Amino acid sequence: MRLSGITPSGHAQLGNYLGAIRRWAADGGERDLYFISDLHAMTTAHNPARLRSLAEETLAALIASGIPAERVFVQSDLTAELGALTWVLECTCTYGEAARMIQFKEKAGGQAGVRLSLLTYPVLMAADILLQGASEVPVGEDQNQHVELARALARRFNSTYGEVFTVPRAVLPLAGARVRDLADPARKMSKSTKDSAGVVFLLDEPELIRRKIRRAVTDSHSIPGYQPDERPGIANLLEILAACTGRAPGDLAGEYPTYGALKEATAEAVVETLRPVRERTTELLTDPAELARIRKEGAARAAERGEHRLSSALRLIGAG
Ligand code: AQP
């Protein structure tokens, strides 16, 4: 089993789609599972109603992108199971191990009112992985240490109390495009970026997408050229266009005489790529009963998959 997640920390954006969701839909197979990690979006200040609606929207977007409904679930639908397993794993984890997490140090550094969950969420992530019995977790560099922790906890539990958990390992995600922020190509496009001028969301209307791409930061040259280090803004547009058309960014550069022409072509390619996803997502969102049914079935399947592991772990650790 291979487990991948998406955190509804904002509206899903073009980078999520071209870099991950689209690959999940096209290349994912029987052994792939996907989940909306809404509990992970609670480790910093959050708005409950917004989070609930973002989780729903993200679920709809994954299904609309072509991921089979039976391979998707929402994390908070398993709060009882995950809460119990997180406790078991917290009793397997040392404080030092959690406090060593680089992401915790980076995000908590110097801040007042840091939530305890920011420290412990890698243990919840271990619970996500171990409950489902995932052997592979496709993650970027920034999440590697968390998968290592899940690995260490699985091994420790198995050797201390009895064999329950599959020991997972981090694997490289399916290679997708890396999309940068249109207004600031030095950083990646992100759903939680405060200023959304450089972020194309999956549900943006075509006219808004065109406007955002027309205003994308470029450079002082005037003829498109593919030089990612020296000209990141133009390279980003070429890479987006390439990802939408299946062409190579370097080949596309010579086909557009001006920045304006490149922006127009990129905007149209993005609009057409996202159109079916936006239409199907919107359609699903207007059918809450169908979405609720998909969600309920996904939750039941995910809970069933983990049931024996959770009950064995509780029994072996001495609970109940
Ligand atoms: N800009 C991007 N280009 C390519 N891939 C991207 N992904 C995210 N942004 C880009 C991929 O989308 C998947 C789900 O992302 P995530 O929710 O696990 O977290 P993230 O990488 O932190 O995504 P965001 O949009 O940047 O969210 P925030 O704003 O919360 O940090 C992952 O496979 C990710 O690589």
Choose one of 16, 144, 192 to mutate for the ligand 1 pocket test, by most ligand atoms within 8 angstroms of C-beta.
16
- Asked if residue 295 is part of any domain, the answer here is yes
SS3 label, residue 124: helix
Cα of 14 vs centre of ligand 1, distance in Å, is 10
pLDDT at 225 (0 to 100): 93
Q: How far is the CA of 168 from the centre of ligand 1 (A)?
A: 21
Q: What is the mean pLDDT of the chain?
A: 96
Catalytic residue flag (residue 296): no
Task: CATH number of the domain at 233, please.
Answer: 1.10.240.10
Could you give the C-alpha distances from 56 to 94, 124, 189, in angstroms and in order? 35, 21, 21
* pLDDT higher than 90, residue 175: no
Could you tell me if 109 and 78 lie in one domain? yes
In contact, 184 and 198? CB cutoff 8 Å: yes
- Which of ligand 1's atoms lies nearest the C-alpha of 181? 1
Examine residue 93 and state whether it is found in any structural domain, yes or no: yes
Instruction: State the distance from the centre of ligand 1 to the C-alpha of 179, rounded, in angstroms.
Output: 10
What is the per-residue pLDDT across 94-137, written as a single tens digit (0 to 9) for each?
999 999 999 999 999 888 899 999 999 999 999 999 999 999 99
Work out the pLDDT band at 196, boundaries 50, 70, 90: very high
CA-4 nearest atom, ligand 1:
33
b/e 124-161 (16+ beta carbons within 10 angstroms → b): bbbbbbbbbbbebbbbeeebebbbbbbbbbbebbbeeb
For the stretch 209-241, pLDDT in tens is: 999 999 999 999 989 999 999 999 999 999 999
Considering the domain boundaries, does residue 188 fall inside one? no
Tokens 């052994």: give the residue: 31
pLDDT at 19 over 90: yes
Asked if the structure places residue 186 within a domain, the reply is no
- Residue 297: give the domain boundaries: 3-171+288-317
Residues 8 and 88 placed together within one structural domain of the fold: yes
Whole-prediction pTM value?
A: 0.95
Residues with CB under 6 Å of ligand 1 are 5-7, 9-10, 13, 15-16, 19-20, 140, 173, 176-179, 188-192
Give the pLDDT of residue 38. Answer: 98
Whether residues 28 and 122 share a domain: the answer is yes
Question: Residue 143 Cα, ligand 1 centroid: separation in angstroms?
Answer: 11
Domain contains 185? no
Please tell me the predicted confidence (pLDDT) of residue 49: 98
- Protein residue closest via CA to atom 7 of ligand 1: 16
**Can 212 be counted among the known catalytic residues?**
no
Instruction: Tell me, yes or no, whether 23 and 164 share the same domain.
Output: yes
Residue with the smallest CA separation from ligand 1 atom 2 is 15
Claim to verify: residue 242 and residue 128 sit in the same structural domain: no
At 37-66, the pLDDT tens digits run: 999 999 999 999 999 999 999 999 999 999
CATH of the domain at 51: 3.40.50.620
Confidence of residue 317 (pLDDT cuts 50, 70, 90): very high
- The maximal CA–CA distance of the chain, rounded, in angstroms, is 71
In a domain, 180, yes or no: no
User: Is residue 191 in some structural domain?
Assistant: no
15 and 101 belong to one structural domain: yes
Q: Are residues 267 and 214 in the same domain?
A: yes
Residues 6+ apart with CB under 8 A from 205: none
> Which of 2, 136, 190, when mutated, tests ligand 1's pocket best, judged by the most ligand atoms within 8 Å of its CB?
190
Cα–Cα distances in angstroms (integers) from residue 58 to residues 62, 220, 284, 308, in the given order: 6, 38, 11, 29
Does residue 303 share a domain with residue 274?
Answer: no
Query: Is 88 in the same domain as 7?
Result: yes
* Segment 269-309, tens digit of pLDDT: 999 999 999 999 999 999 999 999 999 999 999 999 999 99
Q: Is 292 found in the same domain as 279?
A: no
Known catalytic residue at 191 = yes
Catalytic hit among 107, 194, 263, 296: 107
Cα angle for residues 260, 175, 235 (degrees, 5° grid): 20
Residue 184 pLDDT class (50, 70, 90 cuts): very high
Query: CB atoms < 10 A from the CB of 49, how many?
Result: 7
Same domain membership, residue 204 and residue 73: no
User: Percent of the chain beyond pLDDT 70?
Assistant: 100
Cα(130)–Cα(246) distance, rounded to whole angstroms?
A: 36
Distances (CA, A) of 80 to 75, 138, 177, 238, 276: 10, 25, 36, 46, 36
Give the pLDDT band (50/70/90) at residue 320. Answer: confident
SS3 169: strand
For the chain, what is the domain count?
2
The tokens for 94 are: 């040392």
Residue 107's CB is within 10 A of a number of other CB atoms, namely 15
Domain assignment present for residue 202? The answer is: yes
- Claim to verify: residue 224 and residue 259 sit in the same structural domain: yes
Q: Which residue has the tokens 């450079």?
A: 219
- Give the distance (Å) from ligand 1 centre to CA of residue 16: 5
Output the DSSP codes for 5-36: EE--SS--BHHHIIIIIHHHHHH--TTEEEEE
